[in-house]
Amino acid sequence: MENLRELDKRHFIHPTSSIQQQQENGPKVIMEKGEGIYLYDKSDNAYIDAMSSLWNVNIGHGRVELADAAAEQMKKLAFSSAFSTFSHEPAIKLAEKIASISPANLNAVFFTSGGSEANDSAIKLVRHYWKIQGQPERQTIISLKRGYHGVAAASTSATGIPQFWGMAGHMMTGFTHAETPYGSSTDSAIASLRETIETEGAENVAAFLVEPVQGAGGVLIPPKDYLEKVRQVCDAYGILLIADEIITGFGRTGKMFAVENYGVQPDLLTFAKGVTSGYIPLGGVLVSDPIHEVLKEMSEGTLFHGFTYSGHPTAAAVALKNIEILEQEGLVENSREMGEALLQGFQNIKEKLNIVGNVRTMGLLGAVELVRNPGTNERFTSDQKVAPKVIDALHQRGVICRPVTYDNTDIICFAPPIIINKVQINTLVDKLYDAIHAVEKELGQVM
């Protein structure tokens, strides 16, 4: 164990981590195995994986069927190219399957290895689309403040959380951010979108890229009518709508895709994470029939965009098995029902504690906000580190969760595996109560 910790410090540069913290303390936990909603470390301590790791292990850990699907495919055809129109059955079948379960107008898929690549691909595809349409000046991508779209070149620029911009040096040109509906009304967020379009000039705007629920921004569920109004604005200005469903896809919000909760059809939809429940890397972009038609008209012939692993056969085989499990076990419905149970649990906690503000869920994507005064929504100061303290208290009680403290918020995010049952929801809620209660005491806020 000690040896592993030392080797980690010496050789492993962790993604989205404090390198200083790693060097001082070593890795936080070294995980050994997973089973259902639980992760186990090397000392066999159990943790509820209340974030499905990185919002991705939708069907839970330890599903042998996915391992078998990968092994079978690897033994037959582990890898083969999809470039230059070479093809293979797993990618064809997966593309067809995803088209069949996604909104009606989305029927063709470009595959990637993950979410950032999916968004970069969507951005290149829409710019390419407008070029073919004879409107090459339509380059600008509008996204939302507090939005998270990944860390590749274009997706970093589309991300609306400034902490992620620093490393990129120069941001890509042609990106701008409108106000998020979080903490404001649909009308003011829509007014900001219109204003952003007008400032850029609609004739220069390629697309609006938006998460139906902003995940990394703090599980920010927009007002019910927001996306519908977004669709109307996009239509009025002739702008394409890209839904980033990288977190929200594949049952997370109680529907197969979150746009179904809003009755909105996007022109493109990016996915990753839940498509394989994280068992193997895979992502992609779904495009609408009219966009597919335009791409088919492309004059130069070759689509000069493709990753070695676009349509990876083993990843596709795992995704097909994952989707089969989602459907056969009714996990999308379970996500909706357990999401309601989780919300009920949050509301019960809110009544008993003094520092719980807004609580919300959409399916099994949820958040609990911690505030100094729930009546006025007055926040704590960032130096009080309230959300990180609750995360630590949860960790001590065997629950892994994520805090969002950006912009002086204290949000605890939840995205447990969508196989979770009622008893496990109750355990999670009880542990959350204990953790917040302990922090409340420390803050001297117990009545």
The footprint of ligand PMP (CB under 6 A) covers: 54, 114-116, 119, 148-150, 211, 215-216, 244, 246-247, 272
Pairing of strands 365-370, 399-400: unpaired
Closest contact distance (angstroms) between CB of 148 and ligand PMP is 5
Q: How far is the CB of 355 from ligand PMP (least distance, A)?
A: 27
Shortest Cβ 62–ligand PMP spacing (Å) = 22
Nearer to ligand PMP, 215 or 311 (CB): 215
Least distance from C-beta 270 to ligand PMP, angstroms?
A: 7
CB of 202 to ligand PMP, least distance (A): 25
- Alpha-carbon distance of 431 to 414, in angstroms, equals 13
**Residue 241: which of 260, 223, 228, 222 has the closest Cα?**
228
Q: What is residue 45's DSSP assignment?
A: -
**Phi, psi of 65, rounded to the nearest 5 degrees:** -60, -35
- Owner of token pair 């303290």: 389
Closest CB to ligand PMP among residues 116, 139: 116
- For residue 103, give Cα distances in angstroms to 198, 256, 394: 29, 9, 38
Taking a C-beta distance cutoff of 8 angstroms, is the pair 266, 241 a contact? yes
d(CA 329, CA 203): 47
Short-list 81, 116, 84, 58, CA closest to 283: 116
Q: 115 or 181, CB closer to ligand PMP?
A: 115
Beta carbon nearer to ligand PMP, 179 or 211: 211
Place of tokens 């829509």: 190
User: Taking the complex as a whole, how short is the minimal distance between the CB of residue 160 and ligand PMP, in angstroms?
Assistant: 11
Q: How far apart are CA 393 and CA 403, in angstroms?
A: 12
Residue 99 CB neighbour total at 10 angstroms? 16
Partnered with residue 104 across adjacent β-strands are none
With respect to ligand PMP, which residue has the nearer C-beta, 54 or 233? 54
Is residue 158 within 8 A of residue 126, CB to CB? The reply is no
Q: For residue 271, what are its two tokens?
A: 């996915």
Residue (129 or 164) nearer to ligand PMP, CB: 164
Amino acid letter, residue 321? K
Q: Smaller CB distance to ligand PMP: residue 215 or 357? A: 215
**Shortest separation between residue 54's beta carbon and ligand PMP, angstroms:** 6
Q: Which is nearer to ligand PMP, 281 or 313 (CB)?
A: 281
What are the φ/ψ torsions at residue 252 (nearest 5 degrees)? -55, -40
Secondary structure letter of residue 180 according to DSSP: P
Residue 211 Cβ, how far from ligand PMP at the closest point, in Å? 5
Residue number of the CB closest to ligand PMP reads 115
